[in-house]
Amino acid sequence: MFAIAGTLVLLYLFLAPLNVPLYELLMFPIVDPRTPDRTKEFAQLEKMHVTRKEVTFRSANGRKLKGWFFELPGTKRVFLFSHGKGENIFAKLDSARLLLLCGGSVFMYDYQGYGLSEGKVTIGNACNDALAAYDYLVKKEHRSGKDIIAFGESFGSGVSSQLTLKRPLAGVIVQSGFSSLMRAGRDRLVWLNAYPDWVFPDYLKLDNAAVFSKPHPPLLIVHGKRDRLVSFANAEDLYQRAVEPKMFLPVADGPHCCFGKQDEFLLSVRSFLNQNKI
């Protein structure tokens, strides 16, 4: 009896959040140095009269980051795209095309340790990389805060919410985002529910709901009801706790990072932009 109890106590302590490199379990970078052939996707974008610029810029720690700026003629509006944990910009060109159809240019970049960007994968680095991407748009592409809409996909929702605390934005779109990273971690790693909040390291406390429960730029939440990676309950909690202005697009039968059927996403984003005069 005592031996079993002792073993359980040791296991509990061993699996405590402070002892487990949780960010490695929650972030899975694609660091393949090969450059995938995206000729077909780029050709589709060219038909939209979009110009593509390959961009190199530096994060706060001096690491070189890679990105693409897809400029749509006739508008200053730009979506700053922060991707999810298991993606890189080579895999997100369909998302870029859809955002271009919504009526804005798109700047997508890779965090440190992702794609062809230098550096190491950490949550703090990713948040700093978003700041560097924003500053690139301001300094090199001559945009201002009233032109920039942060688009955060999955893990990128936390990166985008942190950006709202440090830079002015015209709006924020959260796709398949979490209420808090700690909640998402508990959903995925069920044993973490046995630990109190104070045990969790600071880097896991990306809390979107806390950010948007205070005054914020206009917010649009997009989430699939059948999301098995970040539960739909996260979106419901985030929407409930967020103050106005806010909109919610629940996608019936939608999986993780879905855009809905036909023009569902497109019409919702255009409505969001029009209602908030972005």
Residue 9 has pLDDT above 50, yes or no: no
Q: What is the mean pLDDT of residues 220-229?
A: 95
Place of tokens 């973490």: 192
Residue 11 has pLDDT above 50, yes or no: no
Instruction: Answer with the residue of higher pLDDT: 187 or 217.
Output: 217
Strand partners, 57: 65
d(CA 106, CA 141): 12
The model's pLDDT over 231-261, given as tens digits with 9 standing for 90+, comes to: 999 999 999 999 999 999 999 999 999 998 8
d(CA 216, CA 269): 18
Q: What is the mean pLDDT of residues 124-148?
A: 97
Whether 148 contacts 177, CB under 8 Å: no
pLDDT of residue 181: 82
The three-point CA angle 139-81-44 to 5° equals 105
**Percentage of the chain exceeding pLDDT 70:** 85
Residue 16 has pLDDT above 80, yes or no: no
29-43, 121-135, 169-183: lowest mean pLDDT where?
Answer: 29-43
pLDDT confidence tier of residue 191, bands split at 50, 70 and 90: low
pLDDT of residue 250: 96
pLDDT confidence tier of residue 170, bands split at 50, 70 and 90: very high
Whether 268 contacts 240, CB under 8 Å: no
d(CA 133, CA 129): 6
DSSP the chain: -HHHHHHHHHHHHHTSGGGS-HHHHH-------S----HHHHHHHHTTT-EEEEEEEE-TTS-EEEEEEEEPTT---EEEEE--TT--GGG-HHHHHHHHHTTSEEEEE--TTSTT--S---HHHHHHHHHHHHHHHHHTS---GGGEEEEEETHHHHHHHHHHTTS--SEEEEES--S-HHHHHHHHSGGGGGS-GGGS-GGG---HHHHHTSS-S-EEEEEETT-SSS-HHHHHHHHHHPPSSEEEEEETT--TT---STTHHHHHHHHHHHHTT-
Model pTM score: 0.89
Residue 165 has pLDDT above 70, yes or no: yes
pLDDT confidence tier of residue 112, bands split at 50, 70 and 90: very high
Task: Provide the CA 182 distance to its chain's centre, in angstroms.
Answer: 15
- Domains along the chain with CATH numbers: 2-275 (3.40.50.1820)
pLDDT of residue 227: 94
Q: What is the mean pLDDT of residues 179-188?
A: 81
Instruction: Answer with the residue of higher pLDDT: 161 or 41.
Output: 161
Neighbours of 201 (CB within 10 A): 15
**Percentage of the chain exceeding pLDDT 90:** 67
Residue 21 has pLDDT above 70, yes or no: no
31-45, 145-159, 174-188, 242-256: lowest mean pLDDT where?
Answer: 31-45
Give whole-number Cα distances, 115 to 10, 18, 133, 261, in Å.
39, 29, 15, 29
Q: What are phi and psi of 207, to 5 degrees?
A: -120, 95
Residue 105 has pLDDT above 50, yes or no: yes
